[in-house]
Amino acid sequence: MVAPSHFTSESVFIFSVSILIPFPSLKKMSVEELKQQHLTATQNLISLKEEVKLKRTTLIDTDVASHVRSQSRTPVSFGPTDLVCCRTLQGHSGKVYSLDWTSEKNRIVSASQDGRLIIWNALTSQKTHAIKLPCAWVMTCTFSPSSHFVACGGLDNTCSIFNLNSPVDKDGNLPLSRMLSGHKGYVSSCQYVPNDDTHLITSSGDQTCALWDVTTGQRISIFGGEFSSGHTADVLSVSINRSDPNMFVSGSCDATVRLWDTRAASRAFRTHHGHERDVNTVKFFPDDQRFGTGSDDGTCRLFDMRTGNQLQVYTQQHGDDDVPTVTSITFSISGRLLFVGYSNGDCYVWDTLLAEVVLNLGSLQNSHDERVSCLGMSADGSALCTGSWDRNLKIWAFGGHRKLI
């Protein structure tokens, strides 16, 4: 056999000899050896995670609460009439899962396990619409920016949209205007792009988020999924930046929060760590430069969108077995207050600067009897609405002539 011209005689000799010398046989490993290797690898992984966590902590040079205390700032104080329950909205026959305010402040949409969306007049407590849903297992609802449409989603894996100006059918039901189909898991959250009735973003149990063209019903972009920078578990919540609608954050059962840019759907812009369990809720701060999160680990956290740093942790001391999970969060119009709903029926009002609880709505008269599942602030910041598994919604108003905070 003649060697090709690009082989030297030495390389041919080595190749020939290597054919004659057999490879050493692979050692068969016992089950115990495999278990030991797996245990060692797991311990190494935990150690590396702790090193990353410690390194991330050392890089954070901002302790907001300590800095504020050093300036002798005091927490926000509430008198007995400063925040009171002024209305209870009754009408659902099942657990309330989601709510949203319109931009003109006086209307609320709520979604319930009874399979209906109800539109309420917050000033009179009257129902203006009771919409029967194609799927009773609804998890989320939202108004469009113009308030002419409402969208909802749930265990049917779709996002359903209703035009509130459409005439009802012969049975008195509002017809379905559009159905957005494409997710392979339940729709956990939906939110319209600010100032745009034609686009919305959904999050899903299929580990992705999606941007939709409502006019055509087509999915424009997918965030996550097969991309390595996407979530690795169910996505539970989204919040869109009002100042830059191309940016949004998502919280997931993988205990992370990811920042996305709709112009680059292939990868997450940044991944935020800190929570130890499912991130149930995310919400942009009023200045749109920060965002808050709430988790099954019982904590809320405040992150800086620009640097990725964690600025604050809002947590109460509990025993190991009785830590209530955070279900929903929202900020006051100035950002000084953080309202947090918990699984045990509490609704804490946190001072965001000092990280101290200044009020617990769950301890006040006419509070909810069960889990506070959702909450939202009116557009002008004058009222808070909370929804609960006790089937009711409650509107809490700032009393007297108190300055909005």
Confidence of residue 355 (pLDDT cuts 50, 70, 90): very high
Cα–Cα distance for residue pair 137/239, rounded to 1 Å: 22
Q: What is the mean pLDDT of the chain?
A: 88
Phi, psi of 108 (to 5 degrees): -130, 140
Give residue 160's pLDDT: 97
Beta-strand ranges (E) seen in 4-157 are: 83-89, 96-101, 107-112, 116-121, 127-132, 138-143, 149-154
Is 193 within 8 Å of 221 (Cβ atoms)? Answer: no
Give the bridge partners for 270, in sequence order.
Answer: 259
Give residue 110's pLDDT: 98
What's the CATH architecture for 64-398?
7 Propeller (2.130)
Give residue 244's pLDDT: 96
Mean predicted confidence (pLDDT) in 308-332: 88
Beta-strand ranges (E) seen in 123-172 are: 127-132, 138-143, 149-154, 158-163
Mean predicted confidence (pLDDT) in 149-178: 94
- Return the domain boundaries, the chain: 64-398
Confidence of residue 50 (pLDDT cuts 50, 70, 90): confident
Give residue 57's pLDDT: 61
Q: Is the pLDDT of residue 87 over 90?
A: yes
Q: Is the pLDDT of residue 5 over 60?
A: no
Percent of the chain's residues with pLDDT above 90: 68
Could you say which DSSP state residue 281 is in?
E
Cα–Cα distance for residue pair 395/231, rounded to 1 Å: 35
Is 1 within 8 Å of 9 (Cβ atoms)? Answer: no
Q: In the sheet that 393-398 helps form, which strands lie side by side, from edge to edge? A: 83-89, 393-398, 383-388, 372-377
